[in-house]
Structure 1
């Protein structure tokens, strides 16, 4: 069942993910405590050191908006349990570090001021809370530490803590557009989180909020959202990770499901000083177009550093994205599947009577559109509104079901791409 409240998100198509916490200091992974089996005491040095003196969310928001992003999601609590918001239920929060700032509040205010929608990522599991599973858990740093074999905890007390924090997020920060949960695993899913009760509270406090599907499953599954009778906690969209679905995502009845693919910009969710392996603007634009053509969104992650700045390679990528969006943004926003199949030279997206041809490959002659000429009113370049010619050279006579196009001249020459990332044409259908 598709909820009307998700329409704005599916029109936006492009979002910014921000993974930021104490783990930005280690510069390796947000999973450091788990991978290295670190105790709370061994990890405490990051809490004592955390002080992002250069944090300027207004600058983040300006860069994101210029780069074509229409919404942003901040990790207000990751698996390490550290909170970027001023929760009254824990001392493990940014307002108790050297910076003494509610970083989530500043994020919300800055991004809203730029007209961007805002969301919170919240980890369902918590390696800092004393009442979360320790020994025998799949991920907890103490999962195989014999000293915790007889450790007593009250999981209901953790659930009360978790629900109370989510109530704070839904109450103290104005309108929140997205809650992005991460994630269910093994037996830790659905009602193990008291999910029906949790979602009832969330939707009462934030009636228009959009939820992902991870209260019920992980990145590799659709969950009951795909069935005729989804649970109350099935969420509003599917959230594949580090992959673009080969053919989009359909429910069990064959209908389109809302989905959002999330990916890292440089193979890491958290900050790493490694300046290599960044996906460039060409890659991200083309993946965004692919997602849009399949009815989905793309959420691209940046990990700010310990000083609170976006890494310089990420800033360059955002700048390069802004140049493409300045010319071609209308071929993404409000667009979706075109119903025309995938052409060899790129992708189609569509918004009502306008079909957008995303040309990503240089052709050796006229470009073939699998749209009959009789259905086309006109074709224009999106970047400047100039006319694109429909041509009928003798070499195309074998293919009457196609429309062939070229720039102004030469008539039978090669269609030269104006943008080597993606040159976009607007085809108005009669």
Structure 2
């Protein structure tokens, strides 16, 4: 079986699930200025240590997180086991820089995994290839390191092989000590820090041996800036199982060099930061996020939606509200998301199509004057229903549509030529069962 065939087999559940939760959480929740605060503000290890000493998330309750994810209609989650600052939320035997050595005194990743599994959700772990705490990770002159322009680090010698042993060892721990892991989400490659610089083939082979069936993102050789060899017909061993566009939904989805679809997942924040940022109140509306989830699915992609819990371990109220509103819509319309992908019919001007076999879902964002024209299905429709409540709809045939024989027409009220408000202004979904 080829790499591409193996990838398709592994990602089947992922492509059916379509919607997941990203969780960025760590010491950076205390300064509350985003997860890159150490890099942006050039904070030294010594200065950052005060957050390690203080870390005590007394309200951490991953069971409530898992329930919120499930209620929102999410099928899987990915949580930061270690972010770029090097702090571990798991009980690694390879470092003292971990949650079990803080006032929390707990393996927070184990609790997350147990909680999300108990809700029937797939579990993923984010692991940063970058480490600003480890003394053997290159500092001076690196593009991202907090000490990149600190002259004290200019002549410091780093044993990068020793760092790689540490990094590989921690990945081994994550793949060994927590039962079945469904996703490992590496982040990220840049400049010459990519591919075999990470001993990527060795790392991937180890992960796949320890966790058969696990899916891996593409950032051992790529980043949010590019997809890497996953887009070729001859992908590398470490090309990953899915592409990971960040803070953008690709205009045409993501395909390989021949135009064939490949698995992809857009990772998106609810506001403008991944980690908790107390001043960032620029939250996207539930309406926008629902529509962007639909857009992802219509382009054969997934949406990984982020939450950034605060220093006490609480998901912000704004995020919980968004998740709740998405959940209300998903309860009525999830059939048009799960197991669906790009439709065989071109995108209409009033919204999007998603499709699952003979079922075509029209996601109507904008109302119409009179009847709504639906392209590409004239003469192919067996049945029409409003998905949210299953109520019958009919194709209409009135005097004022005679000039447009290539379209089927529907309306959302009894008078076929009248104008009615959409039943759901966020996204009204009409299910067409095709012949």
Given the two structures, how large is their TM-score scaled by the length of structure 1? 0.99
CA distance in 2 between counterparts of 1:383 and 1:141 reads: 50
Q: Secondary structure at the match of 1:3?
A: helix
CA distance in 2 between counterparts of 1:405 and 1:149 reads: 69
Q: 1:325: Cα distance to partner?
A: 0.7
Q: 1:306: Cα distance to partner?
A: 0.5
Match of 2:355 among 340, 350, 353: 350
* Partners of 1:389 and 1:408 within 8 A in 2: no
CA distance in 2 between counterparts of 1:127 and 1:355 reads: 49
Match of 2:235 among 226, 230, 235: 230
- 2:179 maps to which residue? 174
Match of 2:333 among 320, 328, 336: 328
CA distance in 1 between counterparts of 2:57 and 2:335 reads: 36
* Partners of 1:373 and 1:403 within 8 A in 2: yes
Q: 1:177: Cα distance to partner?
A: 0.5
Match of 1:51 among 47, 51, 56: 56
* Partners of 2:370 and 2:416 within 8 A in 1: no
Match of 1:112 among 96, 117, 142: 117
CA distance in 2 between counterparts of 1:395 and 1:180 reads: 54
CA distance in 2 between counterparts of 1:319 and 1:240 reads: 25
CA distance in 1 between counterparts of 2:411 and 2:37 reads: 54
- 1:158 maps to which residue? 163
Match of 1:33 among 17, 38, 45: 38
Distance change (3 Å), C-alpha of 1:417 and 1:44: same
CA distance in 2 between counterparts of 1:407 and 1:359 reads: 11
Distance change (3 Å), C-alpha of 1:53 and 1:130: same
Match of 1:65 among 60, 70, 78: 70
CA distance in 2 between counterparts of 1:226 and 1:408 reads: 46
Matched, 1:14 2:22: no
Aligned residues: 430
Superposition misfits of 4+ residues, deviation over 3 angstroms? none
Q: Secondary structure at the match of 2:233?
A: coil
CA distance in 2 between counterparts of 1:351 and 1:124 reads: 37
Match of 1:398 among 388, 397, 403: 403
Task: Name the Cα RMSD after superposition.
Answer: 0.9
Match of 1:293 among 298, 307, 322: 298
Q: 1:150: Cα distance to partner?
A: 1.3
- 2:283 maps to which residue? 278
CA distance in 1 between counterparts of 2:124 and 2:78 reads: 4
- 2:139 maps to which residue? 134
Distance change (3 Å), C-alpha of 1:135 and 1:372: closer
Structure 2: state its 5+ residue gaps: none
> What do the CA deviations read for 1:117-173 (whole angstroms, capped 9, x no partner)?
010011001000011001111111111111111111210000000000000000101
Given the two structures, how large is their TM-score scaled by the length of structure 2? 0.97
Distance change (3 Å), C-alpha of 1:408 and 1:35: closer
Structure 1: state its 5+ residue gaps: none
Matched, 1:414 2:433: no
* Partners of 2:272 and 2:280 within 8 A in 1: no
CA distance in 2 between counterparts of 1:367 and 1:391 reads: 10
CA distance in 1 between counterparts of 2:303 and 2:118 reads: 22
CA distance in 2 between counterparts of 1:108 and 1:75 reads: 12
CA distance in 2 between counterparts of 1:130 and 1:372 reads: 62
- 1:304 maps to which residue? 309
* Partners of 2:42 and 2:146 within 8 A in 1: yes
